[in-house]
Structure 1
């Protein structure tokens, strides 16, 4: 990342770690994501991120990771969790999503995959955005990464109930359209309404994969992490949103 001039500059490495540039910026809050100007800065920076020419094969990692995490979640889950969270049904759901969402002409980019407000910093003097924490990064459809960012707008990890998601805060169509228009237009190329509409619709469909991704993460984390966070309830909310939105977004009844 540093070699490509992105994120904090890597100043050196030693046996137990590395030394990075200090970033003169503050981490965003949940409310910052709703400020139109700030959201525009994020959209433009995310476009840059997706266009990074990172080394290695540019294969989509999403579906393989979902299947790996499902296997791990089923190994860790109790019979009650298996039943309540409908884990036995998820392999078929992942297969369905891969079949329905995979398109030959979809754009693949280097995705952050965890673009919540805590992973975005802003220099308040220059408005420069820095995206940090790359441990989930991989090549994926760009629509998936944008979907993840939209889903994160329902979260506030600094509230009294950080595990509770409020989907009334999910951005409306006008807000999502503005973000995507800025994202596509930030390279200076002319953007058609058709391109905006397609990415808008694709991102909405990919929210389904995103709910399963973080639902499985919640189950696994609840069994292996000691952090004070109700991972199981978080997972329950993500799966609930998946089953709620699936009929509408996939046109199924």
Structure 2
């Protein structure tokens, strides 16, 4: 039994990982001299890392221990600072959020195995589960993480654009219009940033695979904090909505179906559940304003993950069509920008319309504005 990734030889584990596992086993009163007793199960769905469940019997054989081993994907350190991510992981673990960190080795780490199921794509549309996610997201946003509380979104996008320019072939750079993106990012920052916007500690990657639920208690656990940082909460909610178009366990995991993007009523319900989860009932104006802000921040999401897709195609060897994924994100950006950044684009009378001048225009996720 073995992990085969990042150069690991089939049939044996790296020595550094063996030592971590032996230390974890010893702390639980187990003896792990024979690595052949390990059962290794690769878990599906990870897009940048490889994730494995490792099982072994206790000394008396009556209990099966379980841990999760996360092997970092190649080249992903261009996206974030790994030390910062580990500090965030440890802080959240110490404050009852997510799994405990059990040990580290050069290519990854060992985590507590959470006895809950990872959500599936369709779960995000379940009203009950969606309400639980909304409440958990608000709780996450209220965390007081040590360190600067500055919005990281725009700086990170500029850094990723620099990385994309460095890595891209001339053909790809031309296709994606990389020479124009610095101005797009500057424009979005100017249009979307407001002094009164609500900034919190955001996950920034709240796709269904990063959400777990205990079936008995119905408690939600958010995992994988690689992209977490302080950002406008509207960006995080927009990211979650955009992820409803994805199914990373399909035969074409890179394909996004924007007909599944939540409609206005569903977005309003999520935002209402988010705002009311602390016990105070929000006004209609508060709900509408956050729904409006979220829609605008969906544009930043498309550029953010579009750049991620371009870079990933060059640095990550996981079987995923990153460039096609990027094309779809940039396409959605171009589709939605005219409607969302028009001269007067607040929602009209609470309906699923955007105002262009004095004219209300009905919108759908696939509407094209000329």
TM value normalised by structure 1: 0.96
Aligned pair 1:101/2:101, yes or no? no
Aligned residue for 1:63, secondary structure, equals helix
Aligned equivalent of 1:32, options 123, 133, 157: 123
| Counterparts of 2:279 and 2:210, CA distance in 1 | 26
Do the aligned partners of residues 81 and 19 (structure 1) sit closer, same or farther apart at CA in structure 2, a change above 3 Å counting? closer
Q: Which has the higher contact order (CA 8 A, sep 6+)?
A: 1
2:269 pairs with 1:178 = yes
Runs of 4 or more, structure 1, over 2 Å off, are 12-22
CA deviation profile, 1:19-59 (whole Å, cap 9, x unmatched): 54331100000011110000000000000000001100100
Alpha-carbon deviations, 1:86-126, whole Å to 9, x = none? 11111000000000000001010000000000000000111
Please state which structure has a larger fraction of its residues in strand.
Answer: 2
**Aligned partner of residue 291 in structure 2, secondary structure:** helix
CA distance in 2, matches of 1:243, 1:203: 17
- 2:203 counterpart (91, 100, 112): 112
Unmatched 5+ residue regions in structure 2? 1-91, 344-369
Q: TM-score, normalised by structure 2?
A: 0.66
Mapping of residues 100-179 of structure 1, within 5 Å: 100-179=191-270
Alpha carbons 1:184, 1:191 under 8 Å: kept: yes
Please tell me the root mean square deviation across aligned C-alpha atoms, in Å: 1.4
- Equivalent residues, number: 252
Instruction: Give the conservation status (yes or no) of the 8 Å contact 1:4–1:52.
Output: no
Structure 2: distance between partners of 1:23 and 1:15: 20
Q: In structure 2, which of residues 290, 301, 309 is the aligned counterpart of residue 210 of structure 1?
A: 301
Larger Cα Rg: Structure 1 or Structure 2? Answer: 2
Q: 1:234 to 1:19 in 2, by over 3 A?
A: closer
Say if 1:22 and 1:100 are closer, same or farther in 2 by CA, change over 3 A: same
Secondary structure at 2:123 match in 1: helix
Unaligned runs of 5+ in 1: none
Partner of 1:74: 165
Whether 1:249 and 2:249 are equivalent positions in the alignment is no
Secondary structure of the structure 1 residue equivalent to 2:93: coil
Between the aligned partners of 1:14 and 1:213, the Cα distance in structure 2 is 29
Structure 1 residue corresponding to 2:285, chosen from 188, 194, 197: 194
Higher helix residue share: 1
CA contact (8 A) 1:155 1:165 kept: yes
Residue 190 of structure 1: CA displacement? 2.5
